[in-house]
Amino acid sequence: MKPSFFLKTFLPVLSAIILVAGIAYSVWIEPTAAPPGNNVEAPINVGTSTQYKSGALGVGGLLAAYSGFWLNNNGQDVSGKVLTADASGFGSWQAQAAGGGGGGCYVSYSGGCLAGFTNKGSAGSWGYCYYYGGGGASDTGYHFRPAGGGCNWSSSTVGEAYVCCQ
């Protein structure tokens, strides 16, 4: 007796689908807990806890503060001081210059000033410094380059920074 068309065509296909689905189901292991408990750590973009990334991190935008911005002062009393950057971009707390009382100024990297502040002119271009080592992506570094700052490596300009004062 001749095998039917169904046995020749559909039965092998149906058998293969059942076999693949069965293997996929059998190798699936349910996580033992939600991240980060007993499992992989939560992605760096999730949650409100402090996170650390040991490797390089690429960022599409530089800084957006949605609820407040806190700068670690390492326990120093910084009242009455201003945060300044040297030509290499390293920051430090310094005494406010004479005659600097009142209003206050800041450098805007977004092209505009906050309400109550006026644009006093350009502070220079800003961007980032980068280097490529011989070790591939793990040997590559990116660093913020403030307005007027320089680099010992290659640099790229992102935009113009402005001084905003009250």
Buried b (16+ CB within 10 A) or exposed e, 30-55: eeeeeeeeeeeeeeeeeeeeeeeeee
pLDDT per residue, tens digit, the chain (166 aa), is: 566 777 778 888 889 999 999 888 887 777 777 766 776 666 666 666 666 777 776 766 555 544 445 555 566 676 667 777 777 777 777 776 655 555 678 888 877 888 888 888 888 887 877 776 655 555 566 667 777 777 777 778 888 888 888 8
Q: Where are the domains of the chain?
A: 102-166
Nearest in space to 47 (alpha carbons), one of 38, 61, 37, 32? 37
Q: Can you tell me the distance from the alpha carbon of 109 to that of 67, in angstroms, rounded to the nearest whole number?
A: 18
